[in-house]
Structure 1
Amino acid sequence: MTERPRADARRNRARILAVAEDEVAAHGPDASLEQIARVAGVGSATVRRHFPTRRALLEAVSRSQMEALCGRARGLGGDGGGRSALVEWLADVVAHSASARGLVAALAFEGAEPGQEDGCAAMMEEAVEPLLRRAVREGAVAADVTVADLVTLVVGAVLATEHHPDPVAAADRVFRLAVAGIGPPGGRWSGAR
C-alpha cells in the first residue's frame, strides 16, 4: 500500500507547481528554481524533493496541456484521412509548444531521464502512435517514420522559431513546410538531379 503524502507536503507541492507555472510562462524552461522556491515560500531543498530535476518540474507544469492534447489525438482517431488527422494533431502540438513556454523542453527526448515512462514525451508517443500507424497503413506516410521523428520535427520547428516576433505563426509555417516539402503545390521534388 502506497503511503499518501502529508497534507503540508501536498500543499507545498501544489504551491510550488502554481508558482512554477507562472515563472515558466514568464521566463521559459530556464526559470530559476531558487526564485520559484522563494516565491512559493519554501526552501530550494523542498522544491528538489518534489521535483528532483528541472525536467521533472517542466513535465509537471506541462502535464495538463499534454493531457488535453493527448485527448484531442484520441478524438481524431476516426476522423478523415490518417495523414490529415496526424498533421492536424501535430500542428496543434506545435502551436501549443510555441505558445506555452516549457512544453517543448518537456517533449524533447534528449536529456530524458531513464525510466521516466510517464513523462510528456511518453504521453505524446502513446497518443500519436495510433494516428501514425493509421497513416502508414493508408500509405499516406512513409513506413519508416517513427514517433521519435515526429517529436523531433515538432521540437525543431518550435526551437528554430522561438525568438521570432510571432513564434506560433513561424513555427506553424516551418512545420507545414517540413510536412509538405519545398516543392511546388501538386509537384514532386526528389532532391536529386
Structure 2
Amino acid sequence: MRADARKNRDHLLAVAGSAVAERGADVSLRDIARRAEVGLATLLRHFPTREALLDALLRTSFDELTARAGAFEESEPPADALVTWVRECVAWTTEYRGVTVLMAAAVEDPESALHASCVTLRAAGARLLTRAQEAGAARRDLDGDDLFALIAMLAWLGDQPALAPRAPRLFDVVAGALLTGAETAPAAVREGRRD
C-alpha cells in the first residue's frame, strides 16, 4: 500500500474509532465519511462494508487483548491472570458502544469478517480459564463460551446509562463467583476496585 493510501486509511480508522465510541457500532458510514472530510466513495474504497471497517478497527484491539492473555498466562498467578484479563476485556468493550452484540454474532458466524478475531480472542480467554481451573482457582463447570458470554454481559452493563454505576461492583460479584477458594478470590477481585 502506498504511503498516502496508508495515511488516508489510518485517518479513516481514527475517525471511525471516535465515531463508534461516541455513537455506537451502528453509526452510519456516511457520518464517518463526513467527519473524516472525505466522500462516501473514498471510505467505501478502503472499507466496502460496515463489517470490513469494524474488523479493521477492532482487529488491532483483539490482537492486543489476545497478546495480553498470553503475557498474563506467563507472568501472573492463574486467578489473577484470569480476572485481570477479563477486567481489561470488559473495559475495552465498553469503549465501543454496541460492539458486544457484533462480537457475539461474529463468533457464531464463520462468514463474518470479525469471526477469526473473535474466535482467537475467545480461545485466549479459554486458556486462562483452563489454567485457573487446573490450579483449582476457578470453577470447573464453565468453559470458554461461558467466559465470553460473561464478558459480553458485563460489558453490556457498562453500556447502559442506568446500570453503569453498578458495573464495577457487579464485576466483583461475577469475578468472585468465577473463582474458587476464599483466599484466592479476594486478592484477584480487589485489583482495580474503585469503592
Q: Sort the TM-score into its range (normalised by shorter chain).
A: 0.7 to 0.9
Alignment of 1:3-152 (within 5 A): 5-6=1-2, 9-98=5-94, 100-102=95-97, 104-105=99-100, 108-111=103-106, 113-115=109-111, 116=113, 119-152=116-149
Q: Distance in 2 between matches of 1:147 and 1:25?
A: 27
Q: 1:59 to 1:105 in 2, by over 3 A?
A: farther
Alignment of 1:178-193 (within 5 A): 178-181=174-177
Aligned residues: 177
Alignment root-mean-square deviation, CA: 3.1
Identity %: 35
Q: Distance in 2 between matches of 1:172 and 1:68?
A: 23
CA displacement 1:87-127 (0-9 Å, x = unmatched): 121012112222x1248438622145524477542341243
SS in 2 for 1:29: coil
Contact kept? 2:81, 2:128, Cα under 8 Å: yes
Q: Which runs of 5+ in 2 are unaligned?
A: 183-195
SS in 2 for 1:67: helix
CA displacement 1:33-64 (0-9 Å, x = unmatched): 10111232433344334334333322322333
Q: Distance in 2 between matches of 1:171 and 1:119?
A: 29
Contact kept? 2:157, 2:167, Cα under 8 Å: yes
Q: Which runs of 5+ in 1 are unaligned?
A: 187-193
SS in 2 for 1:77: helix
Q: 1:161 to 1:106 in 2, by over 3 A?
A: closer
Q: Distance in 1 between matches of 2:129 and 2:170?
A: 20
Q: What residue is the counterpart of 2:189 in the other structure?
A: none
